[in-house]
Chain A
């Protein structure tokens, strides 16, 4: 039967784009054709794309507004950084980062679960408010924490390093607002792309499963979904926790790309959460491929526009508006459909929202 043939093609395009992106970037890098600025953006591009795709799962597929995505990234970053410091190069870098990814995902998922359980039972936009608060709280909390380790195990304090009461050979891991230093910096572009592909695999497969159908049915009509026996809170929570876990993975990539990890307003504050939301909105809510493309453009653009100095944000704003129009103006959408039909004729009749 023909259902899914178009979805399948669309998904292959999505994975294909990522692979092409990888080959082009890696090629430019190997042949020394990448500016140092772009080189520095290789790993960030990966985690921004992961963040955009994972937030799309909540905002686009599940239809809930989350304003704390950077908070889950923060949890993933710090839990994995603590782990990296605890093993302290005692295990090979590759093994370290794989375990770190699992730890970051798990911790972010636990936080997602704890937040989702009470909030997703409520009808209405409570999630936006609670996630916004969560993002800020987690950031400030981490700024206040001191964590050290010695032969007696872990020591935690909210005061200062002295009150950790470490032994002579003790090692301070989190130093309050100064964060975590001496990190392995073993994240690579290749690892980033693999994680992005895994993220896509998880989100796209979920959308095309019975669980994904339940999530999207609930988004489209809660009352009808309940009338056919679907549990609203269960599936909203499923989407939210998976999304949080994937944001945690992005956080691991973030923390393993730095020597020093700090929780600031810039990296884990609500501005960052809003930025990720902008990727999703501009890329088209529910459009996975679009949110990746938006993430890339909006990450590279501000850097490229630096030479404009004072005019930078003005041009940036104009580009944002232009993208918005390009993405959703009815005439442009119609034109895009005509072009797509012309160059990629197919029999499928609809563009499913969850489709990549």
Chain B
């Protein structure tokens, strides 16, 4: 290996998980450098979402390890993993649907903007100042996604595309090192997808973010991802530069043969 000395932000080595008899993910490895925009692709049911669930502690891998910035996160709980710096969005949107758009983001600012329970109940002490800061930060994030004018809407009232954006804003609010996006363009029209690509690039550049995304929309993938890993039936089919991977005959076969 040529770059063993290079430090990866995300270093995943040979993780596997089986559900009953089905090996949903088998010996999966991925190394992502800081500030990279990385794509995870593959046909339906290949195990992509399961990889995200493994990375975020929803499932624990049967084998292998997961390291973020040198810290071993294997077997850690979802909350600990978020605190360590991984945030995600969900393929089937999971917003706090009865809360306002602003409160969805504020909920994710919970740890960064803090006061005690007593201060929360009495609305005394740091409460006023911290709530104001929370509000400012939430609107700042909403602005990035052009959601600030909907701040007081119920999250469930947003159209689909905006809900996806709100999920990204919420994930970003936890101030992660690594952002995982599960099919961020699903359900978006071509115009929305184009805007989303710009937003993702903007987030990477302006938040100094490292992003791993799952996507079926090849225009988006080839447009913004620098490197790709292809999954097929739980196995890694190949990895490398986006262009090279997308021209790999095996990858084309996996997609067409699906």
Contacts and interface: CB of A to CB of B under 8 A. Distances in A.
Interface stretch (B37-45, B109-117, B247-255): B109-117
Contacts of B58: 223
B143 interface: no
A208 B119 CA distance: 11
A159 to B, nearest CB: 43
Interface in A183-233: 202, 205-206, 208-214, 216-217, 219-221, 223-231
A91 interface: no
Nearest to A232: B79
Interface stretch (B17-25, B66-74, B167-175): B167-175
A229 B113 CA distance: 13
A1 B135 contact: yes
Interface string A326-352: 000000000000000000000011101
Given A202-B121, A210-B120, A228 B97 contact: no
B173 A228 contact: yes
B139 A225 contact: no
A230 B79 contact: yes
Contact of B79 (A208, A226, A350): A226
B233 interface: no
Given A210-B106, A228-B110, A350 B96 contact: no
B110 to A, nearest CB: 6
Contacts of B153: 349-350
B65 interface: no
Given A3-B152, A213-B107, A349-B152, A221 B97 contact: yes
A187 B175 CA distance: 51
A209 B134 CA distance: 11
Given A227-B78, A228-B108, A228-B110, A212 B120 contact: yes
Interface residues of B, number: 50
A229 B152 contact: no
A302 interface: no
Contacts of B134: 210
Given A224-B96, A228-B87, A228-B171, A209 B79 contact: no
Given A223-B58, A224-B96, A348 B108 contact: no
A228 B135 contact: no
B96 A220 contact: yes
B170 to A, nearest CB: 6
Please indicate which of the listed interface residues A202, A217, A228 has the most CB atoms of chain B within 10 Å of its own CB: A228
B135 A214 contact: no
Contacts of A210: 106, 109-110, 113-115, 120, 130-131, 134
B201 interface: no
Contacts of B98: 216, 219-220, 286, 352-353
Nearest to B124: A205
Given A3-B102, A209-B127, A350-B153, A227 B56 contact: yes
Nearest to B122: A205
Contacts of A208: 123
Interface in A226-279: 226-231, 238, 242
A3 B151 contact: yes
Given A349-B157, A352-B98, 5 more contacts: A206-B120, A209-B123, A213-B107, A224-B90, A229-B82
Interface of A: 1-3, 6, 202, 205-206, 208-214, 216-217, 219-221, 223-231, 238, 242, 286, 348-350, 352-353
Which 5 pairs across A and B sit closest by C-beta, in order of nearness? A209-B120, A229-B82, A224-B94, A220-B96, A226-B78
